[in-house]
């Protein structure tokens, strides 16, 4: 029967990499953390390559996060456009109302002479 995959927190991974950077040997940290040295190599590489974006958690990749960020930016731009267009529409409607009032008020009924 297979073992379940262990999940490590971001803090745990950062602490393990920090111990390596402070001079502890790879084997020593691997034994203390009960992980393979290969896992430590991967954690250190990910932390160097991605910094704050490293170790995003299970089930969500950096590509997904980048796509989500891009979509959120797009939604923000569209919200600004909608607000602008609503303002334009409101301005046009006000102009139409004013024009309708001025054309009605200035015209006089004409009498028909026969």
Q: Which tens digit of pLDDT belongs to each residue from 81-109?
A: 999 999 999 999 999 999 998 887 665 55
DSSP assignment of the chain, as one string? -PPPPP---HHHHHHHHHHHHTT--HHHHHHHHTS-HHHHHHHHHHHHHHGGGS---TT--HHHHHHHHHHHHHHHHHHHHHHHHHHHHHHHHHHHHHHHHHHHHH--PPPP--
Q: Which tens digit of pLDDT belongs to each residue from 39-56?
A: 999 999 999 998 888 887
- State whether 16 and 40 are in the same domain: yes
Largest pairwise CA distance in the chain? 114
The whole domain housing 40 covers 7-58
In a domain, 114, yes or no: no
- State whether 52 and 15 are in the same domain: yes
Q: How many domains does the chain have?
A: 2
Which pLDDT score is estimated for 114?
Answer: 56
CATH number at residue 22: 1.10.10
Which pLDDT score is estimated for 2?
Answer: 58
Q: Are the CB atoms for 10 and 55 separated by under 8 Å?
A: yes
């Amino acid at each position: 029967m297979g073992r379940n995959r262990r999940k490590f927190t971001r803090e745990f991974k950062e602490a393990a990499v920090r111990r390596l950077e402070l001079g502890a040997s790879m084997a020593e940290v691997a034994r203390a953390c009960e992980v393979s040295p290969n896992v430590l190599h991967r954690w250190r590489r990910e932390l160097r390559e991605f910094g704050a974006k490293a170790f995003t958690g299970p089930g969500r990749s950096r590509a997904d996060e980048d796509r989500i960020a891009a979509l959120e930016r797009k939604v923000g731009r569209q919200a600004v456009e909608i607000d602008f267009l609503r303002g334009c529409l409101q301005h046009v409607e006000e102009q139409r109302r004013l024009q309708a009032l001025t054309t009605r008020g200035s015209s006089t009924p004409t009498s028909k002479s026969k």
